[in-house]
Amino acid sequence: MPAIESQRAATRWTTRLVPVLLAVAVGYATYVVVARVCVRYLLGSVGKNGAAITLLVLYFIFLALTIITYARTLYYANYDPGVIPLGSRAVERQRATRRRRPERPHSADDIEARAYEAASENDPDSPGLEWFYSRDAFVCEPDGRPKYCSECCTWKHDRVHHSSEIGRCVYRMDHYCPWAGGMIAENSFKFFVQFTTYAAAYCAVVLGATAYALRLQAEHGASADSYLLSVIVIGAFFGLFSFLMTITSLRYIFLNSTNVDILSIHQKVYQLAVRIPRGTTSDRFRVIDYPLSKSEVDPRHRKRGANGSNSNHYQTRQQAESRSANSRDDLATRSFAILETYPGENPWDLGYWRNWQSIMGTSLVDWILPIHHSPCANHENLESLYQMGPMLDQLRSRYGLPAGPPSDESAIMEMRSLRTG
- Those residues with Cβ within 8 angstroms of residue 391's Cβ, 6 or more apart along the chain or in another chain: 341, 345, 346, 347, 349
**Cβ pair 133, 168 in contact under 8 A:** no
**Angle of CA points 293, 298, 301, to nearest 5°:** 90
pLDDT tens column, 318-368: 444 444 444 455 557 889 999 999 999 999 999 999 999 999 999 999 999
Q: Which of 190, 154, 181, 186 minimizes the C-alpha distance to 170?
A: 186
Question: Which ranges of 258-363 would DSSP assign to H, the alpha helix?
Answer: 259-262, 317-321, 328-332, 352-360
Provide mean pLDDT across the span 270-279: 92
Q: Which helix (H) or strand (E) holds 10?
A: helix 9-30
| pTM for the whole structure | 0.82
pLDDT higher than threshold 60 for residue 113: no
Alpha helical stretches, state H, 335-381: 352-360, 364-368
Parallel/antiparallel/unpaired status of strands 280-281 and 313-314: antiparallel
Q: Are 158 and 261 in contact (CB under 8 A)?
A: no
Q: 10 Å Cβ neighbour count for 138? A: 25
**pLDDT value, residue 121:** 58
Report the C-alpha dihedral over residues 45, 46, 52, 54, rounded to 10 degrees: 170
6-13 contacts, C-beta under 8 A, 24 or more apart: 6/165, 6/166, 6/176, 7/164, 7/165, 7/166, 7/167, 8/165, 11/165, 11/176, 11/178
Predicted confidence band at 310 (pLDDT cuts at 50, 70, 90)?
A: very low
d(CA 98, CA 324): 52
- Please name the amino acid found at residue 159: R
Q: Write down the pLDDT at residue 316.
A: 38
Higher pLDDT, 105 or 350: 350
Q: How far apart are CA 8 and CA 167, in angstroms?
A: 10
Q: Where are the alpha helices (DSSP H) in 220-306?
A: 226-255, 259-262
